[in-house]
């Protein structure tokens, strides 16, 4: 791992950013400066002080504490959305790629329809049926991004299946299943990592917007997205309120993207600097 | 019984016939060269024998291999023969190897598929195969990725994979076209030696007449999907019966003359 890190600026920077987010998550279970939900009218819009390191919002709730606890929702959303999107998307994409010509067309249409379906609409439907919660938001995000993952997986898998080394593997008598495991999956890995890191970013941002629309994490549980949305109306009075959750979101999104990029470099032997 | 009997083999994509009722036989331990320009159907013929034609191709006629009819064989049944009874070497040795898999595992593949060998045993055999195809430092080669080897080394790996299960038939589809001229000779000699050693039969596909003439005793000249002449190397060179064979020989002579100084290059 040390060797992989060496000179890989994306991976180093990204790992630090992701590590910061995960330390916030761990910290949230151990200690917060204040109860993040504690309302103290006297501290309304309090600036940076020794009592409130990052200030307080309109109701006098401590911003730092909210950010620390808010990391739970963000990372939960990211983890679940990636799991849903990648599991569904990758299996659908590969299934379509190896399916017979006749079956391919209807499956591709199905993916295109899913792709055209707006995530917000899906979230509204799910929220109407099951009630607004982090889980319904995550399901909507996961399902919506799964279609995009399926599309990319299918196209990349087509290219791999058409390659000479897959033909050569067939010529060795390899079964379709073996070809998927030994040839398609490893060669998909780089593009899947990029996809996964993109899904993390999209889902963190989408959860923020869905929470803003009242379709995500319901109040009062702190969520970076809702903090950002809530601070919108005070942006000229107290811009710091919007900046803190904004920075937090940027760190997660950028961190995962950089890690995705850096890890791709580690997995691709042709991009490796030192020979094995 | 011949090892391979191709009878009236026709391969078509839609209305377009790329191979038009060709027939030839190959005895056990003997060799045949398929020669012709691009699009003459020589590669399609070899893919048909391997059962690797795309789904869109319609195939008729008959191919019998070791007494078994291959046309109409299910892909699953055909896959028991591929890499096992029949092996194939491809034109472009870099793209024919999985870029993300170490060489050792790629050579071990057919042994694990067909012989039920464990990875450890298969890697042991892979080491022997590397030595057999003349790769120096086989331990290092097994741990290497394809991009870390030279073109000639990669083609030797391709040969090791094709011969891993000691097939009765080796199909070489332009195995030296993508290689440097200096390396070509080495690889051709290697194929020669190994095919003799294993007692395999060889189908050698190429567009290069001088190459095929040192590799095989029989040549089938293909043009537009048909075999226009099927002769021994000697009789083809002395008295080509078909006009297209004559042109191929003339083309090869031009190159020869150029080297001997009677042609264009001084």
pLDDT value, residue B107: 94
Point out the residue among A100, A165, A276 whose CB comes nearest to the CB of B96: A165
Whether the CB of A103 is below 8 Å from some CB of chain B: the reply is no
A120: pLDDT confidence band, cut at 50, 70 and 90? confident
Q: Distance, in angstroms, between B8 CA and closest chain A CA?
A: 24
Intervals of chain B under pLDDT 50: 263-266
Q: Is the pLDDT of residue A160 over 50?
A: yes
Question: Is residue B173 classed as helix, strand or coil in its secondary structure?
Answer: strand
Looking from the CA of A207 toward its CB, the CA atoms found within 13 Å total 35
Percentage of chain A beyond pLDDT 90 is 27
Residues of B in contact with A169 (CB under 8 A): 98, 109
Pairing of strands B31-35, B201-206: parallel
Show contacts of B191-196: CB within 8 Å, 24+ apart: B191/B89, B191/B159, B191/B215, B194/B132, B194/B133, B194/B159, B194/B163, B195/B31, B195/B170
Contact predicate B232/B218, CB 8 Å = yes
Rounded to an integer, the average pLDDT of A219-244 is: 81
Report the chain B residue with the minimal C-alpha distance to residue A268: B100
For residue A276, being part of any structural domain is answered with no
pLDDT value, residue A83: 94
- Residue-wise pLDDT tens digits, A57-73: 777 688 888 888 888 88
More confident residue, A236 or B202: B202
Q: Is the pLDDT of residue A51 over 90?
A: no
Of A111-120, A147-156, B94-103, B157-166, give the lowest mean pLDDT range. Answer: A111-120
Domain of A181? 2-271
8 Å CB contact of A175 and B76: yes
Whether the CB of A169 is below 8 Å from some CB of chain B: the reply is yes
Whether the CB of A268 is below 8 Å from some CB of chain B: the reply is yes
pLDDT value, residue A27: 83
Alpha helix segments (H runs only) across chain B = 42-50, 75-81, 103-114, 119-132, 138-143, 151-163, 181-198, 209-215, 233-238, 243-260
For residue A42, being part of any structural domain is answered with yes
Residues of A in contact with B85 (CB under 8 A): none
- Residue-wise pLDDT tens digits, B126-135: 999 999 898 9
pLDDT value, residue A275: 46
For residue A100, being part of any structural domain is answered with yes
Buried b (16+ CB within 10 A) or exposed e, B83-116: bbbbbbbbbbbbbbbbbbbbbbbbbbbbbbbbee
- Residue-wise pLDDT tens digits, A245-262: 888 888 998 998 888 888
A276: pLDDT confidence band, cut at 50, 70 and 90? very low
Contact predicate A101/A191, CB 8 Å = no
Contacts of A19 (CB under 8 A, 6+ apart): none
A4: pLDDT confidence band, cut at 50, 70 and 90? low
pLDDT value, residue B120: 92
Terminal Cα-to-Cα distance of chain B (whole angstroms)? 52
pLDDT value, residue B266: 39
Q: How many domains does chain A have?
A: 1
Q: Is the pLDDT of residue A114 over 60?
A: yes
Hey, which of A69-78, A86-95, A190-199, B251-260 has the most confident mean pLDDT? Answer: A86-95
Q: Is the pLDDT of residue A94 over 90?
A: yes
For residue A96, being part of any structural domain is answered with yes
A215: pLDDT confidence band, cut at 50, 70 and 90? confident
Whether the CB of B158 is below 8 Å from some CB of chain A: the reply is yes
pLDDT value, residue A273: 52
- Residue-wise pLDDT tens digits, B190-199: 999 999 988 8
Contacts of A175 (CB under 8 A, 6+ apart): B76, B79, B113
Contacts of B10 (CB under 8 A, 6+ apart): B17, B19, B20, B21, B22, B59, B60, B61
Query: Which of B81, B109, B173 should be substituted to probe chain A, the one whose Cβ sees the most A Cβ atoms within 10 Å?
Result: B109
Residues of A in contact with B172 (CB under 8 A): none
Query: Which of B56, B100, B145, B162 should be substituted to probe chain A, the one whose Cβ sees the most A Cβ atoms within 10 Å?
Result: B100
For residue A143, being part of any structural domain is answered with yes
Please state the pTM of the whole predicted model: 0.81
Query: Which of A105, A163, A169, A171 should be substituted to probe chain B, the one whose Cβ sees the most B Cβ atoms within 10 Å?
Result: A171
Q: Is the pLDDT of residue A3 over 90?
A: no
pLDDT value, residue B265: 42
Whole-angstrom distance, CA of residue B139 vs CA of residue B133: 14
More confident residue, B3 or A232: B3
For residue A135, being part of any structural domain is answered with yes
Tell which B residues from 113 to 142 touch A, by Cβ distance under 8 Å.
Answer: 113-114
A50: pLDDT confidence band, cut at 50, 70 and 90? confident
For residue A108, being part of any structural domain is answered with yes
pLDDT value, residue B262: 54
More confident residue, A97 or A240: A97
CA B197, B203, B206, B208 dihedral sign is positive
Q: What is the CATH number of the domain that holds A259?
A: 1.10.3720.10
């Amino acid at each position: 791992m040390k060797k992989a890190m060496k000179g890989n600026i994306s991976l180093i920077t990204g790992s630090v950013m992701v590590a910061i987010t995960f330390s916030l998550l761990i910290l949230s279970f151990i200690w917060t400066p204040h109860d993040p939900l504690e309302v103290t009218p006297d501290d309304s819009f309090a600036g940076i002080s020794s009592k409130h390191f990052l200030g307080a919002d309109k109701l006098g709730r401590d911003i730092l504490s909210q950010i620390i606890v808010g990391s739970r929702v963000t990372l939960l959303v990211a983890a679940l959305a990636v799991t849903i999107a990648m599991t569904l998307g990758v299996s659908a994409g590969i299934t379509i790629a190896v399916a017979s010509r006749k079956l391919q067309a209807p499956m591709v249409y199905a993916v295109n329809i899913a792709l055209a379906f707006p995530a917000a609409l899906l979230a509204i439907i799910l929220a109407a049926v099951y009630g607004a919660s982090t889980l319904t938001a995550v399901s909507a995000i996961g399902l919506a991004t799964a279609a995009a993952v399926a599309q990319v997986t299918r196209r990349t898998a087509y290219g791999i299946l058409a390659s000479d080394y897959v033909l050569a593997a067939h010529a060795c008598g390899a079964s379709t299943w073996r070809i998927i495991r030994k040839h398609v999956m490893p060669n998909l890995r780089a593009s899947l990592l990029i996809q996964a890191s993109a899904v993390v970013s999209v889902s963190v941002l989408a959860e923020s917007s869905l929470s803003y629309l009242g379709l995500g994490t319901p109040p009062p549980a702190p969520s970076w997205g809702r903090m950002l949305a809530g601070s919108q109306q005070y942006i000229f009075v107290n811009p710091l309120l919007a900046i803190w959750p904004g920075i937090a979101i940027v760190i997660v999104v950028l961190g995962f993207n950089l890690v995705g990029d850096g890890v791709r470099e580690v997995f691709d032997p042709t991009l490796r600097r030192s020979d094995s | 019984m011949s090892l391979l009997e191709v009878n009236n083999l026709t391969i078509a994509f839609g209305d377009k016939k790329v191979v038009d009722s060709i027939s030839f036989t190959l005895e056990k331990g003997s060799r045949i060269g398929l020669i012709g320009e691009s699009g003459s159907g020589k590669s399609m013929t070899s893919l048909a024998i391997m059962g690797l034609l795309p789904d869109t191709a319609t195939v008729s006629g008959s191919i019998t291999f070791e007494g078994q009819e291959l046309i109409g064989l299910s892909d699953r049944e055909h896959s028991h023969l591929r890499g096992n009874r029949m092996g194939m070497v491809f034109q472009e040795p870099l793209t024919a190897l999985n870029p993300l898999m170490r060489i050792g595992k790629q050579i071990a593949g057919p042994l694990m598929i067909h012989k039920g060998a464990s990875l450890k045993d298969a890697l042991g055999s892979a080491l022997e195969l590397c030595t057999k195809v003349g790769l120096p430092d086989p331990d290092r080669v097994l741990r290497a990725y394809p991009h870390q080897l030279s073109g000639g080394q990669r083609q030797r790996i391709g040969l090791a994979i094709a011969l891993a299960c000691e097939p009765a038939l080796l199909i070489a589809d332009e195995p030296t076209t993508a290689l440097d001229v200096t390396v070509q000779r080495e690889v051709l000699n290697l194929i020669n030696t190994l095919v003799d050693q294993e007692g395999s039969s060889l189908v050698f596909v190429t567009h290069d007449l001088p190459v095929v003439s040192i590799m095989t005793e029989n040549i089938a000249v293909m043009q537009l999907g048909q075999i226009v002449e099927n002769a021994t190397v000697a009789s083809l060179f002395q008295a080509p019966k078909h006009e297209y064979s004559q042109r191929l020989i003339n083309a090869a002579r031009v190159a020869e003359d150029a080297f001997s100084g009677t042609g264009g290059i001084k």
